[in-house]
Amino acid sequence: MENLRSEKEKEFNNSQFSTLYSTLLYIHIPFCDSKCNYCAFNSYTNINHLKKEYFSALKTQFLHEISSDTQFKTMFIGGGTPSTMDAGFYERLFGLISPYLKNVEEITIECNPNTSYEWLRDIKNLGVNRISFGVQSFDEEKLKFLNRNHSPSQALKAIQNAKKAGFENINLDLIYSTALDTKELLTKDLNTAFSLPVTHLSAYSLTIEENTKWEGDFSKRKYDEELEIWFINKIKEKFRQYEISNFGTPCKHNLGYWEGKEYFGIGAGAVGFKKWRMENGEWRIFRYYTQNNVHEYLKDPTKYQYEYLTDNDIKKEKVFLGLRSIIGFDEDILNPQEKKRAGILVKENKLLKKEKRIYSYDFLLADALTNYILD
């Protein structure tokens, strides 16, 4: 534990994370070529004829939501599969939003691993500087099992093409805990990933969710805690872990989410997070949700549902998100009893306290630690 403690202290001392990323923009592209068996995201495979209408709806919502003096620090285009839209779509999109990107530091776009070099080059020329490939695996049988529509060779070529197009910040996603996973298969996936010019790796444990093709079929998942821990530790040999599922050069946009920064959500099924100061000086904090159904969104892209958050809601999120990442949280948000319980965990070497900030040694314990502190 002492070695772990000293290593973690070094990480926190050397942390480059700041609180500058105060305004974030997320744009959702719900179009997909195929639906993966495990996918619960808001995505559609049969709406290509709606692409022009969708751009018009995005424009309507964006202009309704954004004030003229807004400037974004980060932007993330997710889906769905953003690479199903041609470069011309993004030329129009960037024509709309470029006045609000004068101070932007990071623009990420997700894409399929069968994306062409020409598309990657054109997107890079528009100003995108971070790209994320949904590879999931380099094993042909596992890709078919997941119903992915690319091959291992296409994934390898796409990542090399991204580097050729000028991308220096490249992420790839891997999925683990599937029924097919063995130490041998996962080792091959990691060795292949480590051989590529990637700066970031996201690793997600398979979850069987509602409204997916695999809903209720838990035979598709392998429950092997020892294998999961081994897999995460192997990734950490190559990339620094900064959040429970993320390793390598940190994604500034996602850091902003975990730090509780405001963000705008544009597109069908997107979520926004805002803080309003009332006339009496109090703050009202809420999330807004656009309509999930793309057809309903096209009819009225500015129709929202709202979720108002209490002080306790915000506290729980700060503690939970802080403990599942290298961000940590400020102990001053805790009441005296909560501080006492956090202090017990510090004495037991389950948490690290540095000045007034509290961090976790093991991000996987974030849920249990949060429940103990705030119980």
CB contact at 8 A, 360 and 351: yes
Please write the tens of the pLDDT for every residue from 170-192. Answer: 999 999 999 999 999 999 999 99
The SS3 of residue 226 is: helix
Q: Confirm or reject CATH 3.40.640.10 for domain 18-257, answering yes or no.
A: no
Q: Average per-residue pLDDT in the chain?
A: 93
Predicted confidence at residue 129, as pLDDT, reads 99
Could you state, in order of their start, the residue ranges of all structural domains in the chain? Answer: 18-257, 311-375
Predicted confidence at residue 11, as pLDDT, reads 45
In angstroms, the CA 219 to CA 213 distance is 13
pLDDT-derived band of residue 14, with 50, 70 and 90 as boundaries? Answer: very low
pLDDT at 199 over 80: yes
Predicted confidence at residue 322, as pLDDT, reads 97
The residues that bridge with 360 in the sheet, in sequence order, are 351
Predicted confidence at residue 52, as pLDDT, reads 97
In angstroms, the CA 181 to CA 314 distance is 37
Predicted confidence at residue 34, as pLDDT, reads 87
Predicted confidence at residue 15, as pLDDT, reads 38
- The number of CA neighbours under 13 Å toward the Cβ of 54 is 23
pLDDT at 18 over 90: no
In angstroms, the CA 171 to CA 166 distance is 14
In angstroms, the CA 97 to CA 115 distance is 24
Q: Which two tokens stand for residue 358?
A: 């509290």
CB contact at 8 A, 128 and 150: no
pLDDT at 109 over 70: yes
Average pLDDT rounded to a whole number, residues 139-146: 97
Amino acid occupying residue 271: V
Please write the tens of the pLDDT for every residue from 330-340. Answer: 999 999 999 99
Cβ-in-10-Å burial (0-12, 13-18, 19+) of 374 comes to middle
- Other beta carbons within 10 angstroms of residue 131's beta carbon come to 27
Please write the tens of the pLDDT for every residue from 212-261. Answer: 899 999 999 999 999 999 999 999 999 999 999 999 999 999 999 999 99
Predicted confidence at residue 19, as pLDDT, reads 33
Q: What is the 3-state secondary structure (H, E, C) of 274-297?
A: EEEECCCCCEEEEEEECCCCHHHH
Predicted confidence at residue 40, as pLDDT, reads 85
pLDDT at 3 over 80: no
Predicted confidence at residue 313, as pLDDT, reads 96
Predicted confidence at residue 84, as pLDDT, reads 96
Q: Which two tokens stand for residue 339?
A: 């501080």
Residue 295: φ, ψ to 5°: -70, -40
In angstroms, the CA 134 to CA 201 distance is 10
| H-helix segments, the chain | 2-13, 51-65, 87-97, 117-126, 140-146, 152-164, 183-194, 225-236, 252-258, 294-299, 311-323, 336-347, 366-374
CB contact at 8 A, 72 and 24: yes
Please write the tens of the pLDDT for every residue from 274-330. Answer: 988 777 877 889 999 999 999 999 999 999 999 999 999 999 999 999 999 999 999
The residues that bridge with 274 in the sheet, in sequence order, are 286
Predicted confidence at residue 1, as pLDDT, reads 40
pLDDT at 360 over 50: yes
